[in-house]
A and B are shown apart, each in its own frame.
Chain A
Amino acid sequence: MQIRDYVLRRMMVLPILIIGTSIIVFTLTRVGGSPIGIYLSHEMTPEEVAEIEERYGLDDPLPVQYLTWAGGMLTGDWGWSGVAAAPVRQVFPDKLGATMELSVAAAIVAVSLGIGLGTYGGARRDRLPDHFARVFSISGAAMPIFWFGILLLIVFGVGLGWAPIGRSDADLFASIAHPTGLYTVDSILAGNWRAFVDAIWHLVLPAIALGFGTTAIITRMMRSSLVETMSEEYVDAARAKGLPEKLVLRRHARRNALIPTVTVIGLSFGFLLQGTVVVEIIFRWPGLGRWMADAVLRGDQATIMAYVMFTSVLFLLVNLAVDVMYAYLDRRVVLGA
């Protein structure tokens, strides 16, 4: 099958998956009862309640309610967030900016550290660095992020007094413009060096906490695929023609070992996304994750629905992108599977 056909077919399945997800999300929230609770107060008469039901379409049959909600999601009416005391759609961009900044920082940590450590260990198979890389990668999958984050706080925040909690110094950032919503980028754009350092300083610990698990996953994949490529014939051939080991590793082995690693990087994106909920709670980070956690504890249905829809669609898109990239990188992949 041609790659183009494959991509087209995957794109055609995408809307089906998104619709399926939306049905599940809608059904799920309605299992918990009608969302009318947030509009009610004790003094209301049954007539007033009925009026509210009618105004928000809550007396319609469920399929109609679903279509109303799905239409709202598409047109930008995402409902009212009780937690934020504002329309979901209005609060969303700010929170998204904070979460994206954190996730990108964590991804940078994870990808650079993971590929580095995996290469270092894999190239020294069964020696000390390799054992270290393996133990590290196994412990990463088992590490509760909430505990790791708290340990970082105990050691670096309280014990050594190095790192602050929260997103940033509010006064400092009130003084500069926020065209992107990412504090690091905004401070560079504003040319404010102090603000930039402050933004980075606040970002380090949560990014490490969030990126730890992903680092471990990438390390593990990089190590094992490097070990595998190092025993391939073309690597032997490169050695036989007299290439120094360093170049064999860099030009021949590592490049091919990166192919499966790219897939894992994409797949671990979901892992990163869900980690933000916990990391944002621990580090008081004002992003989507903490908003979701608050929404969950206070039954803020509109926020929960918007958040789950948003993350699932993002997750689906990233997975699609990864699969397509993988197909381009490795033409041997059987695309029909």
Chain B
Amino acid sequence: MAVETASRVSVAPLAGGLRTRLGRFGEISREVLANPTTLVGVILIVAMIAMAAFAPLLIEPNTPDPYQMPRDWGALNEPPGTPGHILGTTQQGGDVLYGVIWGARISLRLSIIVVSVTVLIGLVVGSLAGFLGGKLDEFLMRLVDVFLSIPELIFALAIAAVLGPSFGNIILALAAVFWVKYARIIRGQVISIKQNEYVDAARVIGDSGLRIYMKDVLPNSITPVVVQATLDMGNVVLIGATLSFIGLAEAGLAEWGVLVSQGQAGISAGRWWASTFPGLMVFLWALAFNLVGDGLRDILDPRTEAKR
């Protein structure tokens, strides 16, 4: 996902560079699949994205809004294994399996929106700061420092609180918090690449600033962004589910954090399933992207490669 977003920006002036990059992409994917833990991550990701994509085929969508939990008033608090409700039902008669599957769709939407928006913002802010330098750079980087001095979840929590409780506002809050790292990564890359001889060479032969940026600086900044974006695909869902667990999403939403929160009430009565399965999904989702993100970092970062 992030690979697409990041490279789409640079497609036009980059036809040649893109081709070699795609060739490298094939090489990287072979390396990724050779590492067993990364492979587990890839399989998990594919499975969960497939689940999200084919949700309407796997389980009949609730009408009118498929993202709302269906209610079966004749089957409250049924344990797992009940016919028609394999993973059991919630206190309100919601099918836990429905929440697990449609929750994947919500999580996929959430992470794609947040990661692509934050990568874009980070790209613009980081590039401006790194390339133009001076007062603007100073100001933007101090802003980044300030943003980083508030712990992520607490910052997102405060923003979501101000905007009011809704899942849409959780998306906004996460976007407002997650762009910072990209801005910093990209600025660092831009500055270090700017000092390379080939950039000087390009300037000497008369390339314009924009052309140098598109041809030399941007493609070389992509690697660490891809790693961070992969990790964030997991982190966004983790923190998003935490916010909705706290109570910032709509109550009937088929979302994992909401379901865990609502399942809490039945725990002391021995009804463990309503929280356990949706929470497990959050864990697997974050785990999968962490495994792949770590794997990518090992492969793409030449320093760790040398160490191994």
Contact = CB atoms under 8 A, between A and B. Distances in A.
A312 B149 contact: yes
A308 interface: yes
B92 interface: no
Given A16-B142, A312-B151, A154 B267 contact: yes
A292 interface: yes
A145 B242 contact: yes
Contact of B264 (A16, A144, A150): A150
Interface in A109-165: 138-139, 141-147, 150-151, 153-154, 157-158
Contacts of A307: 154
Given A146-B245, A274-B151, A138 B294 contact: yes
A172 interface: no
A271 B151 CA distance: 7
Interface in B113-162: 142-143, 145-147, 149-155, 157-162
A270 B37 CA distance: 28
B150 A315 contact: yes
Contact of B283 (A16, A29, A143, A292): A143
Interface stretch (B19-27, B209-217, B273-281): B273-281
Interface in A298-333: 299, 304, 307-308, 311-312, 315-316, 319
Contact of A296 (B142, B246, B270, B275): B246
B110 interface: no
Contacts of A273: 151, 154
Contacts of B37: 138
Interface string A14-43: 001100110011001101100000000000
Interface stretch (B68-76, B199-207, B284-292): B284-292
A32 B283 contact: no
Contacts of B279: 144, 146-147, 150-151
Interface in A267-312: 270-271, 273-274, 277-278, 281-282, 292-293, 295-297, 299, 304, 307-308, 311-312
B99 interface: no
Interface residues of A, number: 48
A296 B160 contact: yes
B290 A141 contact: yes
Contact of B291 (A16, A21, A138, A308): A138
A157 B275 CA distance: 15
B270 A158 contact: yes
A16 B141 CA distance: 13
Nearest to A271: B151
A278 B242 contact: yes
A315 B151 contact: yes
B168 interface: no
Nearest to A278: B242
Contacts, number: 150
B283 A147 contact: yes
Contacts of A299: 161
A281 B276 CA distance: 17
A293 B247 contact: yes
A151 B276 contact: yes
Given A138-B290, A304-B161, A277 B143 contact: no
Nearest to B160: A296
B164 A292 contact: no
Contacts of A144: 238, 241-242, 245, 257, 260, 279, 282-283, 286
Contacts of A308: 150, 154-155, 158
B272 interface: yes
B248 interface: yes
Contacts of B151: 270-271, 273-274, 311-312, 315
B59 interface: no
Given A143-B283, A296-B158, A316 B149 contact: yes
Which 3 A-B residue pairs are closest in the complex by CB-CB distance? Answer: A147-B279, A20-B146, A142-B286
Interface of A: 16-17, 20-21, 24-25, 28-29, 31-32, 138-139, 141-147, 150-151, 153-154, 157-158, 228, 270-271, 273-274, 277-278, 281-282, 292-293, 295-297, 299, 304, 307-308, 311-312, 315-316, 319
Interface of B: 37, 142-143, 145-147, 149-155, 157-165, 234, 238, 241-242, 245-248, 257, 260-261, 263-264, 267-268, 270, 272, 275-276, 279-280, 282-283, 286-287, 289-291, 294, 307
7 contacts: A138-B290, A147-B280, A153-B267, A296-B161, A297-B248, A299-B161, A312-B151
Given A17-B146, A144-B242, A307-B154, 15 more contacts: A16-B142, A17-B149, A25-B150, A32-B163, A138-B287, A138-B294, A141-B290, A145-B242, A146-B261, A158-B270, A228-B307, A270-B151, A296-B161, A296-B246, A311-B154
